[in-house]
Homo-oligomer: A and B are copies of this chain.
């Protein structure tokens, strides 16, 4: 299969107008609020979503240009394989964040714990279901040593379109 084409279903509004200074992940974005505006054609798909406290947002990292197979994560000083990081300069610029869902009103979702740059095109929403999505007995490789630091570290300008570890 060759090219795969998607169309944004909406866009994400957040306080982060650029990457510098952004939290690296939702855990460092505790309490940061944003909204998702869904395009008219897709509003019907939001039915029943408000019963979920958390949702998975899949979006296009629209500021990321090109990719690197190896990157130095924010939290490290060594080159790591890009698929072993959450860095944005990936072969396919797909971002994923799990956020708290506070309210659904018409075409607007009120969300919290946001680590996404303002204006990001949204591709999909999925309900967060612990039985499917929460894993136990997890090992986190290179990140394990620096895991404790994550909440404190803010992103810098290391990546052109940079955020995330």
Q: Which residues of A contact B (CB under 8 A)?
A: 1-9, 25-27, 42, 44-56, 58, 60, 62, 69-70, 79-86, 90-92, 94, 96, 98, 121, 123-135, 137-144, 147, 150, 165
Contact = CB atoms under 8 A, between A and B. Distances in A.
Contacts of A85: 127
Nearest to A9: B91
Nearest to A24: B132
Contacts of A48: 80-81, 84, 141-142
Given A42-B69, A138-B128, A4 B96 contact: no
Nearest to A113: B135
B127 A52 contact: no
Contacts of A69: 42, 44-45, 47
Given A3-B5, A6-B94, A27-B132, A141 B127 contact: yes
A135 B8 contact: no
A52 B53 CA distance: 27
